[in-house]
Amino acid sequence: MGKSNKLGFWVLTALVIGNMVGSGIFMLPRSLSEAASPAGVMSAWLVTGFGVLMLALVFGSLAVRKPNLTGGPQIYAKELFKPGSHASTLSGFMSTWGYWIGNLAGNVAMITTFAGYLSTFFPILTSQADWFTVGSFTLKVGNGLTFLVCSLLLWGTHFIILRGMENAGKLNFLATAAKVAGFVLFIIVGLFAFEKSNILPLMAPRVDDAGHAIGIMSQINGAAVNTLWAFIGVESAVVFASRAKKQTDVRRATILGLFIALGIYIGISTLVMGMLDQNTLIHSDKPLIDAIQTVLGPIGGKILATIGLISLFGSTIGWLMLTAEVPFQAAKQGLFLPAFLKENKKGLPVLSMIISNGLGQLFIFSTVSKSISGAFDFVIVIATLSYLVPYLISSVYQLKLVVTGETYTLGSQRITDGLIAVLATAYSIWVIIAGTADLKTFMYGMILLASGILFYRPIFKKKETADQKTKRALSA
């Protein structure tokens, strides 16, 4: 790969911030208010921020200690078993499969949110008028147009990336800079418009479907998966480690990006709860716009919608780049079919992009029968749990290195990294338990992971054939 496709520190940092501060910042205030009281929401942010910081430190450490293992946190799964064994290949594939499909679902959350904010300028995107009927199915005008907008954004971004990764990275950097500036302005306006009465009582009761009261700890558990969604993408620099100009930039970009994103999330989430009453917030498809309109009117809503569109466009670039990179790097490790290694003249994984975005198009069909907020809630459940297993695997692999002493020369560094790995592991387990407490969520997660089995056998057969050829060549 030429230097033209190498990514520097600031571009990597922009990828981390851009991929984290994507659809979540625009839609999560509504989802969180539905799941927990203001006290529960703020507590969930702090707990998740600390847990993700531990994970970020793990990612940064592994990127430096194991620079040959590139492509994301899921790649470490195969290192937990004997090299070359069936268990190593299977675990690596299944972890990568779940992470990849999670990315595809996450892309839809990003793209559908873009359509939601575009509806500020084109209200017809939310129209519930009938467009046409086929049998018992009736397509609404808003749903049909949303599908077309989402499809155009997906494939338009696809062709932008194909023109060169460095240029796409710079475009993502500009969009990220614009969004950070816009969110800082939102925070300043929000400070003046904050109404304490909107977040009182802090410990407001929440009830489940059966009408039972949900305690504060259960509220935090319920909000934990949603708040983790906000930090999905903290591993972006790790995924692109092989394309970084310097490996040390990967750790620095991850940590800096996390702190900037955390500040934005906590600030905006808290302010939105103070700008809108709870009932309005829970039923909002565009909570940030609705909040800013209470202060600046329709003009303020349109300004924020424009910032949101720029932000989401930049995030779409970053996530489509990341999604295509995952199977490409997995194929390098022998975990995906060799066909995913195909590159164009600019060193971009062209086949991986086509397949990834083609599958993403299938997810976009969820917008045909669901509202924008409904589609967001649907994919967030599927996608978040797909990331938890690779995050847990990374923490466990860090523990393995600490215990064996591999790559370590200083005992003090082993103790520090060991403590971080233990905390990251405990956090990952806690969120997995909290996220799968609901049977429906658990079943979605299991079906998603199990679906990979259908595609594993061809990979394993090719790997066996390659190993046999190697053995014959050596014996000859």
Rounded to an integer, the average pLDDT of 215-225 is: 74
Q: What pLDDT score does 425 carry?
A: 93
Q: What pLDDT score does 237 carry?
A: 84
Distance CA 43, CA 167 (A): 39
DSSP labels, 435-475: HTSSHHHHHHHHHHHHTTHHHHHHHHHHHHHHHHHHHHHHH
Max avg pLDDT among 40-49, 151-160, 465-474: 151-160
Cα 308 to chain centroid distance, Å, stands at 17
Residue 107 has pLDDT above 60, yes or no: yes
Three-class secondary structure of residue 342 per DSSP:
coil
Q: In the chain, what percentage of residues exceed pLDDT 70?
A: 84
Q: List the domain range (segments joined by +) for residue 413.
A: 3-475
Residue 427 has pLDDT above 70, yes or no: yes
Q: How many CB atoms lie within 10 A of CB 430?
A: 14
Q: Which residue is it, tokens 């600019």?
A: 346
Residue 137 forms beta bridges with which residues? 134
Q: What pLDDT score does 460 carry?
A: 57
Strands 130-134, 206-207: pairing kind = unpaired
pLDDT in tens, 15-50: 888 778 766 676 677 777 777 777 778 888 888 889
Residue 454 has pLDDT above 60, yes or no: yes
Three-class secondary structure of residue 385 per DSSP:
helix
Count structural domains, the chain.
Answer: 1
- Alpha carbon of 200 to those of 155, 195, 365, 461: distances in Å? 45, 10, 39, 60
Q: In the chain, what percentage of residues exceed pLDDT 90?
A: 9
Q: What pLDDT score does 419 carry?
A: 95
Q: What pLDDT score does 249 carry?
A: 86
Distance CA 97, CA 451 (A): 9
Q: Find out whether 281 and 159 touch, Cβ atoms under 8 Å.
A: no
Q: How many CB atoms lie within 10 A of CB 218?
A: 18
Q: What pLDDT score does 181 carry?
A: 83
Residue 473 has pLDDT above 50, yes or no: no
pLDDT band at 440 (very low <50, low <70, confident <90, very high): low
Q: Which residue is it, tokens 């620099």?
A: 237
Q: What pLDDT score does 208 carry?
A: 62
Rounded to an integer, the average pLDDT of 79-87 is: 80
Residue 54 corresponds to which amino acid? Answer: M
- Alpha carbon of 312 to those of 19, 238, 259, 306: distances in Å? 9, 21, 20, 10
Tokens encoding 357: 């975005």
pLDDT in tens, 45-59: 888 889 889 998 998
Mean pLDDT of the chain, nearest integer: 79
CATH for 89: 1.20.1740.10
Distance CA 467, CA 375 (A): 44
Rounded to an integer, the average pLDDT of 157-172 is: 83
Q: What pLDDT score does 396 carry?
A: 92
* Contacts with 214 (C-beta within 8 Å, 6 or more apart), sequence order: 205, 206, 207, 208, 222
Distance CA 83, CA 90 (A): 12
Q: What pLDDT score does 352 carry?
A: 92
pLDDT band at 339 (very low <50, low <70, confident <90, very high): confident
Distance CA 378, CA 33 (A): 17
Q: What pLDDT score does 210 carry?
A: 61
Q: Find out whether 153 and 111 touch, Cβ atoms under 8 Å.
A: yes
Indicate the range of 267-276, 334-343, 379-388, 455-464 predicted with least confidence: 455-464
Q: What pLDDT score does 470 carry?
A: 44
Q: Find out whether 32 and 223 touch, Cβ atoms under 8 Å.
A: yes
Residue 214 forms beta bridges with which residues? 206
Three-class secondary structure of residue 245 per DSSP:
coil
* Contacts with 70 (C-beta within 8 Å, 6 or more apart), sequence order: 238, 239, 241, 242, 329, 332
Q: Find out whether 161 and 353 touch, Cβ atoms under 8 Å.
A: yes
